[in-house]
């Protein structure tokens, strides 16, 4: 891609990857046909579909794009390594399989580009509900004759652990209380879906979730919430390149803290009947701010590569602190440095000194969000930027190059 000046136009925000994957896992809880609307056409959804298919669940797209999931009576409660290894979020099938079938064999997820990502909180929470686990040859063998509601206090508001527990608790006997639960909008979306299946989940979106177990659930029809991280990507793009765009379908109420930060940097964002309107007027540089990632409603760790990229050409110095994942989630910084960014790293912190301009270079996408951030950097870098490893971006983004091109950017997929 090459710089092509200001962006202008409308992009339609896809459904949230991090919600769609969990809703798909939730279909393991009850036999029948589900309709999931606005499921993004991305590779991670394909992997989750493959995983469900390998268990005996039928998944296809209807002509109007709706994902139709049909779970029959027979289901093989197993998640093989070759799929779990491709997508760690596969671990979220553990809770529903245990709840519905009383057993599951799920490969242990290994490390990923961010380093090790433990699942101890998932397992401890499920154990408290009555599950037991044994481990051999990299497989978790899980059993639960009966899941019984209880109070689980999480050490940290882990998104995945909250979801796995929620997905098990809906069919447990009695009341489960999940305390210090994750509050992300995707958790509230999962709870809304489960409630439309007949579950009784209260408090999702707050730190205390209360689940009254039911005997049985039935399939449902549900529209996935919009992807706040995809929306943030196009906000970062207009922040970097300037111009004026509309993000159709985006929800401001899921992005309060980010919108506040972007405002302080000089990006104007406001809510409209269609979604969000965003602009960076004139030739003024962005202003540097300090940023700390935190569980929701704090600034999401997934926004961080985008924000670091924006700070790399902002006026001033911004200190970015990672509080959600281990310190080594900064692989893309070396790539931004190749483009001329002035960033120094120390433990959980990145100190970003804004430079007047970036210069285009061949760079490598280390993961989904960092890959997208490098594309955003390329929108303003002088000369040509080639982002390799674009398959990482496809895991989470529906046609990123096409959407940016529709806004006037000079981007193409080789």
What residues make contact with ligand UD1 under the rule CB under 6 A?
18, 21, 89, 117-122, 156, 158-161, 182, 300-302, 324-325
* Helix residue ranges per DSSP H, 91-211: 94-101, 120-128, 159-169, 185-196
Cα separation, 34 vs 147, in Å, equals 25
* Residue with smaller CB distance to ligand UD1, 31 or 367: 367
* Residue with smaller CB distance to ligand UD1, 31 or 163: 163
- The total of other beta-carbon atoms located within 10 Å of residue 267's CB is 23
Q: Shortest Cβ contact with ligand UD1: which residue? A: 160
* Residue with smaller CB distance to ligand UD1, 21 or 24: 21
Cα dihedral value 85, 87, 91, 97, nearest 10: -100
The single-letter DSSP state of residue 356 is S
**Min separation Cβ 329 and ligand UD1, Å:** 9
**Min separation Cβ 399 and ligand UD1, Å:** 20
**Min separation Cβ 382 and ligand UD1, Å:** 32
Task: Tell me how many helices (H) and strands (E) the chain has.
Answer: 14, 22
**Min separation Cβ 340 and ligand UD1, Å:** 27
**Min separation Cβ 396 and ligand UD1, Å:** 9
* Residue with smaller CB distance to ligand UD1, 180 or 385: 180
* Residue with smaller CB distance to ligand UD1, 71 or 329: 329
Cα separation, 70 vs 254, in Å, equals 30
Which contiguous run of DSSP H or E holds residue 177? Answer: strand 175-179
Cα separation, 193 vs 159, in Å, equals 16
**Min separation Cβ 26 and ligand UD1, Å:** 13
Cα separation, 281 vs 385, in Å, equals 24
Tokens of 374: 């490098």
* Residue with smaller CB distance to ligand UD1, 6 or 189: 189
């Amino acid at each position: 891609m090459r710089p092509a000046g200001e962006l202008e136009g409308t992009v339609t925000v896809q459904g949230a990857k991090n919600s769609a994957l969990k809703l798909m896992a939730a279909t393991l809880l009850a036999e029948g046909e589900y309709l999931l609307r606005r499921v993004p056409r991305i590779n991670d959804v394909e992997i989750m579909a493959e995983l469900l298919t390998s268990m005996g669940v039928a998944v296809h797209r209807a002509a109007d794009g709706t994902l139709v999931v049909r779970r029959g009576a027979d289901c093989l409660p197993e998640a093989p390594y070759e799929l779990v290894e491709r997508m760690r979020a596969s671990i979220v099938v553990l809770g529903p399989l245990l709840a519905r079938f009383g057993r599951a064999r799920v490969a242990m997820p290994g490390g990923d580009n961010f380093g090790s990502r433990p699942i101890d909180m998932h397992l401890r929470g499920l154990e408290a509900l009555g599950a037991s686990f044994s481990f051999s040859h990299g497989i978790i063998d899980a059993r639960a004759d009966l899941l019984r509601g209880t109070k689980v206090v999480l050490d940290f508001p882990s998104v995945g652990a909250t979801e796995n527990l929620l997905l098990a608790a809906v069919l447990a006997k009695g009341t489960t209380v999940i305390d210090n639960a994750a509050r992300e909008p995707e958790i509230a979306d999962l709870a809304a879906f489960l409630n439309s299946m007949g579950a009784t989940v209260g408090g999702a979106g707050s730190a205390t979730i209360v689940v009254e177990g039911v005997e049985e659930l039935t399939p449902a029809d549900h529209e996935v919430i919009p992807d706040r991280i995809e929306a943030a990507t196009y906000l970062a793009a207009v922040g970097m390149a300037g111009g004026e765009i509309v993000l159709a379908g985006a929800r401001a109420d899921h992005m309060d803290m980010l919108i506040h930060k972007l405002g302080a940097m000089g990006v104007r964002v406001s809510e409209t009947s269609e979604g969000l309107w965003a602009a960076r007027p004139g030739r003024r540089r962005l202003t540097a701010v300090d940023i700390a990632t935190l569980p929701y409603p704090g600034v999401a760790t997934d926004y961080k590569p985008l924000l670091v990229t924006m700070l790399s050409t902002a006026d001033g110095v911004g200190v970015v602190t990672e509080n959600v994942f281990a310190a080594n989630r900064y692989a893309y910084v070396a790539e931004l440095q190749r483009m001329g960014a002035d960033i120094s790293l120390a433990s959980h912190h990145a100190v970003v000194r804004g430079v007047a301009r970036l210069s285009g270079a061949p760079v490598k996408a280390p993961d989904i969000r960092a890959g997208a951030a490098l594309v955003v950097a390329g929108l303003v870098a002088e000369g040509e930027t080639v982002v390799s490893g674009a398959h990482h971006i496809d895991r989470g983004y529906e046609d990123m190059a096409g959407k940016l091109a529709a806004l006037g950017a000079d981007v193409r997929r080789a």
